[in-house]
Structures are given as C-alpha cells and as structure tokens.
C-alpha cells in the first residue's frame, strides 16, 4: 500500500515537472455556460479554443471550465482562473457579466473578455458579441418565401434584448417578402433542454405553423421538423445532419478568428480594451449552405447576405413602427447600437405580448 | 380549443410523461425497500448515453434499449455496494452517483455529439390503432410507452399482490424485524436498487432514442429529480405515480400550446406551472399526516448493518 502511495506521489511530481518545463508564453482560459458537448453555443466557443491551440501550438497553454452556472459559481470559477496564471480569460455567457467585472477589478494584470455583455468597468475588460440578428433577417426572407401557411413558429429562450432583436429582425425580413406573414412565439425559459425544446416545437407544429425557428441551443427542434415534414432553421452550429430534408440554413457562430486575434494580441503585448460587435462582414456570423429551397429563394438569400457583408444594407433601417403602430425609425433612419442592445419591444406585425 | 389540438396535446403528453413514469416507478420500488437513491439523474443519463451508443454501434435501437437497461442496473450496483455492503450515507452516495453519472456520460458520449440518432419507431397495433380518438393515443405509440404502462401495472401487482412484494415492504418498513424473521434484507435491497437502476436506464434510453433521438451532454436536464419528487408526490403508490407523471407532462405541453395561441399569461409563470403544481399537491398530501405516514417506508434512508 505504501509503495502505491509513493508511486502515485512520484507520478504527480513528474506531471507537475513536465507542466513547468513546457511553460508557454501565455495562458488563455475559457468559461462556458453549457457543456462542450451541447453542439450549440458552448460547442462553438470550444471550437474557437481548439483553433487557438492549432494556431499557436506550444506558445499558448489553454484551459476551460464547462457547465459553469451563472451566479456565485461563475465568480468562483473566474477567480480560480485568474489566480491560476491565466493571462486572458474569456467568459462566454451574458450572465457572467457582473462576476467578470468584479473579479477583473481585483486582478488588473489579467485580461478579461466577456461575450454578449456591455459592462467594461476596468481597463482590463473587453466585450465582444456577434450580430446574429443580421442572419435572422435572411431567415425571415426565406421563411416568408417557402412557407405555405404564412405562419412561422419561433422557439425563444428568454425574453432578453438579444432574442427580441432576433425576432424583430426575422419579422422584418419576412415582411419584406410577405407583409402579412405571422409568427407564433413560444418561450421555453431555458437555453438548453432538448426535451422542452422538442415539446415546444411539437406544440407549434400542432398549432399549424409550417416553419420552425429556434433561438435555443439544441438540435431537438430540427429533429421534430424532420419527423413532421416541416422546414426549420438551425442555430449556433450547422445542424444539417439532424434535418437533411428540413434545414433551410443555419446561423453559425464562428469565434475562431476573434479568439486567435485576441490571444495573439496578448502574446504581442498589444492587447487593449475593445467593444467588438462583429457580424457577417467580420466572419463572426456565417450562414450554413442554403438548402431545401427553390433556386430563386437561395439566390435572394445570397444577395441579402452579400449586401449586409459589404455594408450596403442593415436590417434595422426605417421606416419601422413599434408593435402599437407608433413610429420607431423614420424612412432611411438606422437604429443605433445602443437601441439595438437594449431592445425590449416588438415591431409592428407581431401578434404576441412580450413577457415582462 | 379544437378536438384536433386536444388530441395533439394528449399525444405529446404521453411522450413527455413516459420517461418520468418509468424512472419514478423504479425509484418507488427502491424506496419501498427502505433505500433512498438520489442518483436517478445519474443512472438516467448513463442509460441515455449507453442506449444511444449501442444503437449506433449495432445499428439497432433495440440493442440500445437493452444496453441502457443493463448499464443502468450495473451503475446502480455501485450505489448498492457502497450503501448496502459498506453502509455509507445514502443521501451523500446518491448525490455523488448523480455527479459521477453526468461526468462519465459526458466523457463516454464525446464521440456521439453531433450524430443524428436512430429513432425507436412507434408500433401501431393492427385494427385497434384505427379506433377514433383513443386509437392513436393508446395503440400507435412507441414501444417504451407500452413498456411503461405494463411496468406500472406490474409494479402495483408485485408490491401489493405477491409474497415477494410483501417481503419488500416488510424490509422497507422495519429491516430489524424482517432480518429477525430470516429475510435476507441486503439481498432484497440489492435487487430493488438494481431494478431502480434498470428503470432509470430505460427512461434514459427513451430520451436518447424516442423523445429526442440524439446525444448531448446533460440531456436529462433534471428529469431524474422530477422522478424523485413524483415518488413522494405519489406517496409511494404506483397508480399515483402514473397520475403524477401524466399531470406533469400535460401541464408542460399545455403551457406551450397556450403560449402559441397567444394567451396573455407571463411565460415565466407558465414554465414554472408544472413545478408549482407539484408543490401544491405535495402540500395537500402532506397536510394529511396519517395518509402520508401510512405509505411511507419507515426504514427509508436508514442503513442496515446486520449483527454478526
């Protein structure tokens, strides 16, 4: 028994030694809200981590913590990373915002990057986000073109600005093709629960929608679409394998280029606080191939994608009215980033009440 | 609401209720033997991942079902060994079984992420499935649904109509007396725990082969805990487990339909409704103390160490 204990100790010692011998130039750490096996949000962030490893090899050491819940746990996890020698910590969920800023204030030498948030209380906190809503405008155009019933079912996670903005953008796209297009919205109050998402999708299909849109992370709604013969859009990753006859396209998050750039900045010593909101043009949002639709529809979608990419078009351009019919944006006026980030109302044409 | 919508709600309710029902029936038998296994969530996720994996490996969802049952039972054996043979604390061991299960399943399932699953297809009973209204509901469901109904009847019959069931209850109510009567308490409990594990495994297989045919980490999403609550909700009576599981499923599904129809009730409230309903019923049941105590296994959670 004693021998085993000694051997184990020796093994640990050796491990620690090799760890020290391979000391990298920088250590980059990630905190994920979900499991890396969700094949959605956290999965895509982890693909970014893998891309960083690929790009810098031994120069960068990486670490990650998955399934960190938003709350007291997050603070502990971030602090643990800050103490353990991480040079840069990416916190990848909206709910990590306050925890990130709090820990950042206590560790001025560590860089923090918070995804989808807006608070940068100390100079060592940067924020980054993606303009997923640009992709959702394209989804709306496609939905209104291929739907026979003229009604889409929309599965929302939580009624936060990010999701509300997506619904509005989707409807603007749909209205540009069919002004009378309708949407039925169901909130599941979770980002990830395949069972609930699947139940919500079935309920929507039973209620007569013939297109499914999701702003939740699992592939369950796509599978319901495939099973019931309904068209659907994927979210976060390309879900084609789960709906080969169903997926029209998918909004794919691609964080790799951003992560490589920012970790590179840490290596060069050029890291600075930023607030990046990249979209289709920056390659942060990528549309999966347009599939299962007539050629003209795919061509239209492609055209819109190109126009948004070159900066020729922005979904939130007036005239746009609020749900009650009052004017929000006048002809030709575009929404400011502040308005977009805090969006908490529906646009005209959505027959539903936004939960408070 | 139109009759079609109501039928649709009932149909989807059965799918949502089946995994809860199976896992809760298994746990009911375990608790009737006097053992509290809080590891349902962990055993369920082990069933989900092995069910998905075996279905992929052998190309047959039935192999998945079989593997999930076996692996669920084997995984629960770990709990049985620790709590029964080594008399460790059941609550702590059960909790760690859940954590261990979630971790092991996540690791084992890494290669399955992003693979579309093989769905266990529904079986329509010829003739009967064409009956109006109840036909599609009772006779055109997936095989695990039929199993869950048979299981409910079987568990009731076993507990209240067989000698072995009487022994099980005796062990759960007073293990000291049962031991004095010459009943092998530990063997009974080993078997009960393994039955619970097998049921949780089957419930997991329903998730990854019928409900949402895919593997993703944490896909049980707390259903094991709901199953545990259902057992208390049902005050350890099998038929009440059936009612509870279907009630829970129905409220879950109905609230999505209400939202889609634009009913102006806050969605957060609707989402919480199934849980609120559970709490209300728990309060109602526990207010009648005699009713609760009559069915509660008196030795629940107490370790049994036979004197040598």
Q: What is the CATH classification number for the domain harbouring B81?
A: 1.10.3470
Does A190 contact chain B (CB < 8 Å)? yes
pLDDT at A12 over 50: no
pLDDT (mean) for B280-286: 76
Which residues make beta-bridge pairs with A65? A31
Instruction: State the nearest Cα–Cα gap between A184 and chain B, in angstroms.
Output: 5
Does B248 contact chain A (CB < 8 Å)? no
Higher-confidence position of A217 and B265: A217
Question: Model confidence at B280, in pLDDT bands (50, 70, 90)?
Answer: confident
Question: How do residues A118-168 score in pLDDT, each as one tens digit?
Answer: 899 999 999 999 999 999 999 999 999 999 999 999 999 988 888 999 999
Query: What residues of chain B lie within 8 A of the CB of A355, using their CB?
Result: 266-268
Q: Which one of A36, A38, A182, A199 would you mutate to disrupt binding with B, by most B Cβ within 10 Å of its Cβ? A: A199
Query: What's the pLDDT score for residue A15?
Result: 38
Which of 118-157 (A) contact B at CB < 8 A? 153
Does B52 contact chain A (CB < 8 Å)? no
Query: What's the pLDDT score for residue A6?
Result: 40
Query: What's the pLDDT score for residue B308?
Result: 57
How far is Cα B298 from Cα B177, in angstroms, rounded to an integer?
12
Does A200 contact chain B (CB < 8 Å)? yes
3-state SS assignment for residue A183: strand
Q: Does residue B11 lie within any of the structural domains? A: no
Question: How do residues A97-112 score in pLDDT, each as one tens digit?
Answer: 999 999 999 999 999 9
How far is Cα B283 from Cα A319, in angstroms, rounded to an integer?
54
Establish, for the pair of chains A and B, how many residue pairs have beta carbons separated by less than 8 Å. Answer: 124
The structure tokens listed for A293 are 């639709």
pLDDT at B267 over 80: no
3-state SS assignment for residue B187: helix
Does A13 contact chain B (CB < 8 Å)? no
Q: Which one of A44, A160, A193, A195 would you mutate to disrupt binding with B, by most B Cβ within 10 Å of its Cβ? A: A195
Unique residue bearing structure tokens 């990298």: A24
Query: What residues of chain A lie within 8 A of the CB of B219, using their CB?
Result: 194-195, 218
Which ipTM did the prediction report? 0.86
Read off φ and ψ for residue A167, nearest 5 degrees: -65, -45
Query: What residues of chain A lie within 8 A of the CB of B212, using their CB?
Result: 194-195, 197-198, 218, 220, 223
Q: Does residue B112 lie within any of the structural domains? A: yes
How far is Cα B238 from Cα B232, in angstroms, rounded to an integer?
11
Question: How do residues A246-296 score in pLDDT, each as one tens digit?
Answer: 999 999 999 999 999 999 999 999 999 999 998 999 889 999 999 999 999
Q: Is the dihedral of CA B235, B241, B247, B249 positive or negative?
A: positive
Query: What residues of chain A lie within 8 A of the CB of B260, using their CB?
Result: 153, 184-186, 203-204, 207, 209
Which of 7-36 (B) contact A at CB < 8 A? 8-9, 12, 16
Does B196 contact chain A (CB < 8 Å)? no
How far is Cα A42 from Cα A25, in angstroms, rounded to an integer?
26
Q: Contact A153/B260, CB-based, under 8 Å?
A: yes
Instruction: State the nearest Cα–Cα gap between A242 and chain B, in angstroms.
Output: 5
Q: CA B285, B287, B288: angle at the middle one, nearest 5?
A: 75
Q: Which CATH class is domain A21-130?
A: alpha beta
Are residues A183 and A152 in contact, defined by beta-carbon separation less than 8 angstroms?
yes
Query: What's the pLDDT score for residue A22?
Result: 53
Instruction: State the nearest Cα–Cα gap between B117 and chain A, in angstroms.
Output: 8
Question: Model confidence at B134, in pLDDT bands (50, 70, 90)?
Answer: confident
Does B207 contact chain A (CB < 8 Å)? yes
pLDDT (mean) for B186-197: 97
Task: Specify the number of domains making up chain B.
Answer: 1
- Other Cβ atoms closer than 10 A to A85: 13
Q: Which CATH class is domain A132-252+284-341?
A: alpha beta
Query: What's the pLDDT score for residue A1?
Result: 39
How far is Cα B209 from Cα B144, in angstroms, rounded to an integer?
10
Query: What's the pLDDT score for residue B2?
Result: 78
Are residues B144 and B205 in contact, defined by beta-carbon separation less than 8 angstroms?
yes
Q: Is the peptide bond before B273 cis (omega within 30 degrees of 0)?
A: no
Query: What's the pLDDT score for residue A2?
Result: 40
Query: What's the pLDDT score for residue B1?
Result: 64
Query: What's the pLDDT score for residue B265?
Result: 74
Instruction: State the nearest Cα–Cα gap between B291 and chain A, in angstroms.
Output: 34
Q: Which one of A64, A202, A356 would you mutate to disrupt binding with B, by most B Cβ within 10 Å of its Cβ? A: A202
Average of per-residue pLDDT values in chain B? 90
Query: What residues of chain B lie within 8 A of the CB of A37, using their CB?
Result: 106, 109-110, 113, 215-217
Query: What's the pLDDT score for residue A342?
Result: 86
pLDDT (mean) for A331-346: 90
Q: Contact A192/B266, CB-based, under 8 Å?
A: no
pLDDT at B251 over 90: no
- Other Cβ atoms closer than 10 A to B133: 11
Q: Which of A111, A102, A174 is nearest to A145 (CA)?
A: A174
Query: What's the pLDDT score for residue B287?
Result: 79
The structure tokens listed for B148 are 């869950």
Q: Contact A188/B271, CB-based, under 8 Å?
A: yes
Q: Which one of A32, A40, A203 would you mutate to disrupt binding with B, by most B Cβ within 10 Å of its Cβ? A: A203
pLDDT (mean) for A302-330: 93
Length of chain A: 356
Q: Contact B217/A37, CB-based, under 8 Å?
A: yes
Question: Model confidence at B140, in pLDDT bands (50, 70, 90)?
Answer: confident
How much is the CA Rg of chain B, to the nearest whole Å? 20
**DSSP-H helix ranges across B33-142:** 40-58, 61-80, 90-108, 134-139
pLDDT (mean) for B84-102: 95
Percent of chain A with pLDDT over 70: 93
Question: Model confidence at A19, in pLDDT bands (50, 70, 90)?
Answer: very low
Residue B259 belongs to domain spanning: 17-295
Q: Contact A203/B260, CB-based, under 8 Å?
A: yes
* Chain B residue with minimum CA distance to A203: B257
Average of per-residue pLDDT values in chain A? 90
Q: Quick one: which H or E segment has residue A81?
A: helix A72-83
Query: What's the pLDDT score for residue B228?
Result: 92
Q: Contact A194/B214, CB-based, under 8 Å?
A: yes
In chain A, CATH 3.40.50.2300 sits at 21-130, 132-252+284-341
Instruction: State the nearest Cα–Cα gap between A262 and chain B, in angstroms.
Output: 28
Question: Model confidence at A67, in pLDDT bands (50, 70, 90)?
Answer: confident
């Amino acid at each position: 028994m004693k021998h085993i204990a000694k051997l184990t100790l020796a093994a640990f010692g050796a491990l620690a030694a090799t760890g020290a011998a391979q000391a990298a130039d920088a250590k980059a750490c990630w905190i994920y809200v979900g499991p890396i096996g969700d094949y959605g949000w956290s999965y895509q962030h982890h693909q970014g981590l893998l891309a960083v490893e690929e790009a810098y090899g031994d120069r960068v050491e990486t670490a990650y913590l998955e399934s960190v819940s938003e709350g007291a746990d997050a603070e502990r996890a971030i602090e643990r990373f800050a103490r353990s020698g991480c040079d840069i910590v990416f916190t990848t969920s909206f709910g990590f915002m306050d925890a990130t800023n709090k820990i950042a204030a206590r560790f001025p030498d560590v860089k923090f990057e918070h995804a989808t948030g807006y608070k940068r209380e100390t100079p060592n906190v940067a924020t980054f986000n993606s303009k997923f809503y640009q992709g959702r405008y394209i989804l709306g155009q496609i939905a209104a073109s291929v739907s026979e019933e003229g009604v889409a079912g929309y599965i929302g996670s939580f009624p936060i600005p990010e999701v509300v903005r997506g619904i509005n953008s989707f409807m603007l796209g749909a209205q540009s093709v069919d002004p009378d297009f309708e949407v039925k919205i169901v909130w599941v109050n979770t980002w990830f629960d395949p069972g609930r998402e699947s139940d919500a999708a079935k309920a929507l299909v039973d209620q007569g929608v013939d297109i499914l849109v999701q702003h939740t992370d699992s592939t369950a709604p796509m599978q319901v679409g495939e099973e019931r013969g309904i068209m659907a859009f994927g979210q976060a990753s390309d879900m084609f394998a789960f709906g080969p006859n169903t997926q029209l396209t998918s909004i794919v998050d691609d964080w790799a280029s951003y992560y490589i750039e920012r970790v590179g900045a840490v290596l060069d010593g050029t890291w600075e606080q930023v607030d990046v909101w990249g979209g289709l043009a920056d390659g942060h949002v990528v549309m999966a191939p347009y599939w299962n639709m007539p050629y003209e529809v795919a061509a239209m979608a492609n055209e819109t994608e190109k126009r948004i990419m070159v900066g020729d078009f922005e979904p939130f351009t007036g005239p746009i009215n609020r749900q009650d019919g009052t004017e929000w944006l006048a002809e030709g006026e575009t929404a400011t980033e502040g308005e977009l980030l805090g969006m908490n109302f529906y646009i005209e044409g959505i027959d539903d009440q936004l939960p408070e | 609401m139109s009759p079609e919508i109501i039928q649709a709600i009932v149909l989807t309710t059965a799918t949502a209720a089946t995994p809860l029902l199976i896992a809760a029936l298994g746990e009911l038998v375990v608790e009737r033997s006097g053992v509290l296994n809080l590891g349902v969530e962990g055993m369920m996720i082990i069933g989900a991942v092995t069910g998905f994996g075996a279905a992929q490996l052998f190309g047959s969802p039935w192999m998945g079902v079989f593997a999930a049952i076996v692996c669920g039972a084997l995984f629960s054996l770990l709990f049985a060994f620790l709590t029964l043979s080594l008399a460790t604390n059941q609550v702590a061991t059960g909790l760690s079984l859940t954590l261990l299960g979630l971790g092991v399943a996540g690791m084992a399932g890494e290669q399955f992420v992003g693979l579309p699953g093989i769905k266990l297809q529904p079986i329509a009973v010829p003739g009967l499935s064409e009956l109006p209204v109840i036909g599609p509901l009772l006779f055109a469901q997936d095989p695990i649904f039929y199993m869950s109904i048979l299981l409910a009847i079987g568990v009731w019959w076993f507990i209240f109509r067989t000698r072995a069931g009487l022994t099980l209850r005796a062990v759960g109510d007073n293990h000291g007396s049962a031991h004095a009567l010459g009943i092998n308490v530990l063997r009974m409990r080993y078997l009960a725990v393994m039955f619970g594990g097998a049921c949780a495994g089957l419930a997991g297989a329903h998730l990854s082969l019928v409900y949402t045919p895919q593997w993703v980490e944490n896909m049980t999403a707390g259903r094991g805990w709901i199953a545990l609550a259902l057992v208390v909700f049902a005050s350890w009576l099998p038929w009440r487990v059936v009612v509870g599981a279907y009630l829970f499923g129905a409220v879950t599904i109905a609230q999505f339909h209400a939202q889609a129809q634009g009913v102006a009730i806050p969605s957060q409230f609707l989402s919480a409704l199934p849980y609120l309903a559970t709490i209300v019923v728990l309060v109602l049941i526990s207010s009648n103390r005699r009713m609760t105590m009559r069915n509660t296994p008196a030795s629940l959670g107490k370790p049994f160490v036979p004197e040598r």
